[in-house]
Amino acid sequence: MFPCIGCGACCRRVGQVQKFPEDHPLHFPYSHTNNVCEKLIDNKCSVYENRPLICNVEKVAEFLGVEKQSFYAENVKYCRIFAKEDGIDYDNHRQIP
């Protein structure tokens, strides 16, 4: 299982996600302002259980037919970068003072 800490850092960067055509399975369907997904409410995904494919690292790995553990490791590298940029301690799941 992908080690998401639920910090919302990726949801604050959806404007940076590769754009796919509307008919593509990896299309991101929601709007965003200043790169922040409209579905991020109180720092939580309001559609998490039904989030788009592009927002589900496990399902994207399956869709792409890649080995999950290496795909997760690559994504965690970016999670750590984004969390640090947002003042979040990824390893301890807390805001950095």
* Domains contained in the chain, number: 1
Residue 97 lies in a domain: no
Residue 23 placed within a domain:
yes
Could you list the residue range(s) of the whole structural domain that residue 56 is in?
Answer: 10-90
Q: Are 57 and 75 in contact (CB under 8 A)?
A: yes
How large a percentage of the chain has pLDDT more than 90?
76
Q: Is residue 73 part of a domain?
A: yes
Does the residue 4 lie in any domain? Answer: no
Q: Is residue 3 part of a domain?
A: no
Model-level pTM? 0.84
Mean pLDDT of the region 19-47: 94
Q: How far is CA 19 from the centre of its chain?
A: 14
Render 50-83 in DSSP notation, one character per residue: G--GGG-HHHHHHHHT--HHHHHHHHHHHHHHHH
**pLDDT tens digits, one per residue of 43-84:** 899 999 999 999 999 999 999 999 999 999 999 999 999 999
In a domain, 57, yes or no: yes
Confidence bin at 91 (pLDDT 50/70/90): confident
- Whether residue 40 is contained in a domain is answered as yes
Q: Does 47 reside within a domain?
A: yes
- Give 41's pLDDT tier (boundaries 50, 70, 90): very high
